Amino acid sequence: MRPIIPDYLAEALRDVEPDTSGEPAGYIPELAAANPERLGAAFAMIDGEVYGAGDIDTEFTIQSISKPFVYALALSDRGFDPVLAKVGVEPSGEAFNEISLESDTGRPLNPMINAGAITVHSLAGTEGLKPRERVERVLHGLSAFAGRRLKMDEAVCVSEMEHAHRNLAIAHMLRNHNVLTEDPRVIVDGYTRQCSVLVTTRDLAMMAATLANRGKNPLSGEQVVPEPVVRQVLSVMFSCGMYDAAGDWATQVGIPAKSGVAGGLIGALPGQIGMATFSPRLDGHGNSVRGVSLFERFSSDMGLHVM
Ligand code: DON
């Protein structure tokens, strides 16, 4: 039988390849130096089968795609109420690195923007963990979603920390409101390490498939987080995962999704498939230009819009 899906993916990549619009993230020097031509796409089915085309085994940093997974870990480690008390679930309609806090409580609007994700990082693992143990919990949890042991890119982490003034400012605001209760610099350091975890497009598809498979990794069979946690995470990805482009995405693509500034993009369809693309040039919202085009195409070709 002809391998229909790899052919389909290769053709989709050929069609978007000429689009060289956008720029790799400039505010993290190590990312600005990335090869902007890289391009890959992978589908992971909930039975563990993976189809891919292009650069699906090239490693890059997970960046904001870590946010929904660490949100899942925090919900699972601490329970819903303590996490919801600190981070809301409303779309901000603002850029990912805006402050976007509720004016009365200082609670970040959602866990997908930096303010929310920095707070969520502080809630990963059981209460009272040392910062290093918390980072270990995050790395272990992300690895369980991927089904293999992941590691961090120290160079990207150091590069981002040297320029993390904006995230540090956000963290100080959060500390001022007692949303963060620890040293802001220590939390931002942990969050930056979380963003520096190296993944491939294949890994991201498998991580998305773990969400699509209601929290159970299709390869290892491990139930990484409970099913109600996955429902919460996918709902927030649907409404907030693409930042101030979330409404366009919901109407045009209609798949719970999350992007990262290294150029990764994931989508997860419950009970069906995890999808991932990689292309480092970003649009003005911080989302991969060719990744967005690919997802628009996947959604329309295969009727994947959830509505
Ligand atoms: O906090 C930051 O700015 C980065 N480590 C992650 C931002 C990100 O990936 C935004 N997504 N498109």
Same domain, 190 and 209: no
Q: Is 71 annotated as a binding residue?
A: no
Which pLDDT band, with edges at 50, 70 and 90, does 3 fall under?
low
Set 191, 216, 225, 292: catalytic member? 191
User: 90 and 179: one domain?
Assistant: yes
* 168/286 same-domain check: no
Indicate whether 45 and 162 sit together in one domain.
no
Same domain, 13 and 109: no
Segment among 25-34, 249-258, 265-274 with least mean pLDDT: 25-34
Is residue 61 within 6 Å of ligand 1 at its C-beta? no
Please indicate, yes or no, whether residues 245 and 148 belong to a single structural domain of this protein: no
Residue 47 lies in a domain: yes
Q: How far lies 98's CA from each of 110, 114, 235, 261, in Å?
A: 12, 8, 21, 15
The pTM of this model reads 0.98
Query: pLDDT digit string (tens) for 149-174?
Result: 999 999 999 999 999 999 999 999 99
- 307 inside domain: no
In this prediction, residue 103 carries a pLDDT of 87
Ligand 1 atom at minimum distance from 118 CA: 1
Q: Which domain holds residue 174?
A: 64-195
Q: For the chain, how many structural domains are there in total?
A: 2
pLDDT digits (tens, 9 = 90+) for 204-263: 999 999 999 999 999 999 999 999 999 999 999 999 999 999 999 999 999 999 999 999
Q: Are residues 190 and 71 in the same domain?
A: yes
Band (pLDDT 50/70/90 cuts) for residue 5 is confident
Q: Is 116 in the pocket of ligand 1 (CB under 6 A)?
A: no
Quick one: 186 and 225 in the same domain? no
% of the chain beyond a pLDDT of 90: 94
| Shared domain check, 180 and 241 | no
Question: Do 133 and 82 lie in a common domain?
Answer: yes
Bridge partners of residue 276, in order along the sequence? 42, 266
CATH number of the domain where residue 275 is located = 3.40.710.10
Establish if 306 belongs to a structural domain: no
Task: Give residues with Cβ within 8 angstroms of 49, minimum separation 6.
Answer: none
Residue 29 CB-density burial (10 A; 0-12 exposed, 13-18 middle, 19+ buried): middle
Question: What's the longest Cα–Cα distance across the chain?
Answer: 62
